[in-house]
Amino acid sequence: MGWLLAALLCTAPPAQAATGQPNIVLVLMDNLGYGEPGVYGGGITRGAATPRIDALAQQGTRLTNFNVEAQCTPSRAALMTGRYAVRTGNGSVPLDTPLYGLTQWEVTIAEALSAKGYATAAYGKWHLGHTEGRFPTDQGFDEWYGIPNSSDESYWSGNPLVDGKAVHPYARPEYLMEGRKGADPKQVKVYDLEQRALIDGELTRRGIDFMRRQSQAGKPFFLYLPLTQPHYPTLPGPEFKGKTGNGDFADVLAQTDAYVGRLIDAVDQIGQRDNTIFIFTSDNGPEMFLPNIGSSGPWRGTYFTGLEGSLRVPFILRWPGKVPAGTVSNEIVHEMDVFPTLARWTGAEVPKDRVIDGVDQGDFLLGKAQKSGREGFVVYVGNEIYGIKWRNWKMMSKEVGTGYGEPVRSYGVPLFYNLLTDPKEEHAADPRVLENFWVRFPAVQVLTEHMKSLKQEPPVRPGTPDPYRPAQ
């Protein structure tokens, strides 16, 4: 009978299934525009079908009005903290100092989940600090493998045009790094163009290994997988090079779909399908640089703008038996809402000693409420306010076209756009027309409340060193 008891113990469900603590897999793409996956109008029209991502959308809920900040670092800061990036000093990356990122006073979703007994891992691009005390393992993650900054730094290694001594510390060879909580991360290998093509495959492999380890240990896990594609240079790995016959960008799209599929399969294979919240999204709008221009779908613009193409990105969430399958919503949700929503679902605590801009969207995403918990938000580009988005309207005081090479235009009288009738924001509604001018009241109210909160809690200055404590 001893062998029978052993077999039963080996097949017993993991411990977290009994505690009600769901696992979380958060896949964050880098510069993946709204119009790239097939289920958002891309896929074969972009040169590569995305059957696994499309199937994921059918298994859960898909948002068509999920909004982010306009650049990589601000977006990641908002996602991790549930706060506007300007609050944490990360509205942009300061160019006059290497010190940037989250101060240790900030509380990340990883720290909140770790306090609830979760195993936490980040595999991929961090872009929230590259100096002592600013790495993922300083911000609640048990383990990390990836790059501290961005993939364009892979151009620098061996490039004779780069004089690292002249422009240090930025134009130096960047490294893939690895670390664990409580120890300084170590440089593993130079992040050059060869590694740039290989990195997402390695990140996916490590993510799958992490999930298997934690499932076997019976511990709930939070896997944050900020993949690096399709940020330039957009280079597919050897397995996918030439696979579509439609160029590197299409090959990378096919690669991304395959990697997402492998992650989904791994969740199912370890017996955690029904107990895992699986999220697929992007940090900001599409790539703007040749030769791999991204697609914003029905919207206009790329990242670094306040246009819808910059702000709206794919968002798909699967939680079998909890989130209704096959649902689509155009209700406004912001990436800042992810923290309080996941905190509620997992029993983690949201900090009460600071302003949290995110709202709990739990009931809405579970299908218990028809409306989102928010009606609008303030549109930032860098540290500057460009306007307000409210319901299907935008009231914009600044505007930039493509995001590259076009000047920023400021308007004494704001421009109003009805996104239902003018999704590309090409025909501003005349504010002197009374039927449009009413929008200023709810829009200004969003801005007024935000400005009050900035006075209540002054933002962290960019480049602020640790230790940081708020003045009040």
Which tens digit of pLDDT belongs to each residue from 208-230? 999 999 999 999 999 999 999 99
Whether the per-residue pLDDT at 60 is higher than 80: the answer is yes
Residue 156: per-residue pLDDT:
85
Of 59, 72, 129, 2, the residue nearest 325 (C-alpha): 59
pLDDT interval class at 171 (50, 70, 90) = low
Residue 10 is a catalytic residue: no
H/E stretch holding 345 reads helix 338-346
Q: Do domains 21-365 and 376-456 have the same CATH topology?
A: no
The span from the CA of 464 to the CA of 150, in Å, is 21
Work out the pLDDT band at 191, boundaries 50, 70, 90.
very high
Q: What pLDDT shows up at residue 10?
A: 40
- 426-442 pLDDT, tens digit per residue, is 988 876 666 778 899 99
Contact indicator for 261, 182 with CB cutoff of 8 Å: no
The topology (CATH level 3) of 376-456 is Arylsulfatase, C-terminal domain (3.30.1120)
pLDDT value for 7: 35
Q: What is the pLDDT of residue 357?
A: 98
**Is a pLDDT exceeding 90 seen at residue 412?**
no
Using a pLDDT cut of 70, give the percent of the chain over it. 92
72 is catalytic: yes
Q: What is the mean pLDDT of the chain?
A: 92
User: Which range, of 20-34, 332-346, 348-362, 412-426, averages the lowest pLDDT?
Assistant: 412-426
pLDDT band at 132 (very low <50, low <70, confident <90, very high): very high
Report, as an integer, the average pLDDT of 381-397.
Answer: 96
Residue boundaries of the structural domains of the chain: 21-365, 376-456
127, 231, 334, 450: the active-site residue: 127
Lowest pLDDT segment from 29-33, 93-97, 139-143, 347-351: 93-97
Q: Which CATH superfamily is domain 21-365 in?
A: Alkaline Phosphatase, subunit A (3.40.720.10)
Distance, CA of 48 to CA of 59 (rounded, Å): 21
DSSP letter string, 99-145: --S--TTS--HHHHHHTTT-EEEEEEE--S--STT-SGGGTT-SEEE
Determine which of 185-199, 320-334, 371-385, 404-418 has the lowest per-residue pLDDT on average.
404-418
What does residue 397 show for φ and ψ, rounded to 5 degrees? Answer: -100, -15
Residue 355's pLDDT is 97
Instruction: Please compute the mean of the pLDDT values over residues 338-355 and round it to a whole number.
Output: 97
Higher pLDDT, 52 or 165: 52
